[in-house]
Amino acid sequence: MRAWIALFSAIACEVTGTLALKLFGVHTPWLAAAVTGSSIVLSYLLLSLAFRRIPMAVAFAVWEAVGLALITLLGVWLLGDHLTPVQLLALGGLLLGARMLHGGTRTQHPQAGGEA
């Protein structure tokens, strides 16, 4: 359970850092660099903790897919970005792919480092 908390905390850090680039980058680039840099470093540290109990393919896929979906949806909500139906379908496909990778680890042997 701690590994999943670390993973979702890593996702939150990644999303924060990425949004900081857009929100602070134009008027205060030093703030964007500070927030983004520290958020990404913390994200990778937390991701490395998640890798201890969650297979790398699953953790990385979830980190990327959920992070991308959150950044995209927050961009729509906070920044006025627009999505086409094809783009929404692609986001759904990313999330489905991450879920399928996670489902495929249920038969993995414990010594392989997997956690279902």
* Token pair for 92: 């759904």
Confidence of residue 106 (pLDDT cuts 50, 70, 90): low
Residue in 112, 6, 14 with CA at minimum distance from that of residue 67: 14
pTM of the predicted protein model: 0.81
Tell which wins on pLDDT, 26 or 105: 26
Mean pLDDT value across residues 62-78: 93
